[in-house]
Amino acid sequence: MKILWIVVGVIVAIVVLLIAGLLVASKRLDKQNKKLRLEMEQSHRLPNEKQHLLAYGANLALYRSESPRILPVKTGLDTLRQGLASAWDISNSEEAVETLEWLLTEGHRADYDELLAALHAGQSFTAEEVGKSQECYESAKSELIKKLSFAESDFTRLDTIAAWDYDRAVNIARWSFIVGYITEEQAWGYIGRAADAASLIFDTWKDYFISFSLGRAIAYEGDIYDILWNGKELLEEKDSIWHEFSIKRAS
């Protein structure tokens, strides 16, 4: 029995050391990513007006470990092209424009805002009716309340997942320009349209983040755990782009 407890103790100690090592490595990687982002921002600095526009794409930019303040990304061109093709069916200018127009005029909100309202109201659905959407919605709410200290009232006042569409529109425009599918002028036009629309709908960046998160949960049927810490950075760190710029744009 004594030997058994010794073995268990050794295993526990190893597990603790492994977890501690992973945490240290994660913090080191995060620090390196932030340093690289700062270097790129200094090399490709944009005026405040354009940084403000890019703030509406900050969720997905940080998720991909990219800077939300500039157009260039550290991801290679081939990787970007492959990503646009595999995830978005975008391989040329026409497809890029078609996707961007869809995100800005319809997007997933056209199909899922009604479901969001029903879920907010407490309506229950079967997996045959909505797939994993309800399960992911409930999980997302739980994670946001637990990890970011959000309140139930933060959710009930939201009636759209539009941020899920607008944040992606900003980044699709950015990537489409980088790979040469649209011009820089076109890219800023789409980014500006997304920013203007979001500015009219949302009152706070917190609302914007919740809308993005619930959109990912409901429409994408995805776990939001991997975007929570980006949200924490954007909402809580003093040097974040969301602390610098208001959700509202000057008319």
End-to-end CA, the chain: 74
pLDDT above 80 for 21: no
| Residue 162 amino acid letter | A
Q: Output b/e per residue, 164-189; b: 16+ Cβ within 10 A.
A: bbbbbbbbbbbbbbbbebbeeebbbe
Would you give the distance in Å from CA 3 to the centre of its chain?
49
Mean pLDDT of 127-136: 94
Q: What is the pLDDT of residue 7?
A: 57
Are the CB atoms for 137 and 155 separated by under 8 Å? no
Predicted confidence (pLDDT) at residue 37 exceeds the cutoff of 70: no
Task: Kindly tell me if the per-residue pLDDT of 238 is higher than 90.
Answer: yes
Tokens standing for 145?
């309340």
Q: List, for residues 103-113, the tens digit of each pLDDT value.
A: 999 999 999 99
Q: In angstroms, rounded to a whole number, what is the distance separating the alpha carbons of residues 216 and 212?
A: 6
The average pLDDT across 139-144 equals 96
pLDDT tens by residue, 114-127: 999 999 999 999 99
As given in the structure block, the two tokens for residue 96 are: 């890029």
Distance separating alpha carbons of residues 133 and 149, to the nearest angstrom: 23
Separation CA 200–CA 214 (nearest Å): 19
pTM: 0.85
Contacts of 83 (CB under 8 A, 6+ apart): 75, 175
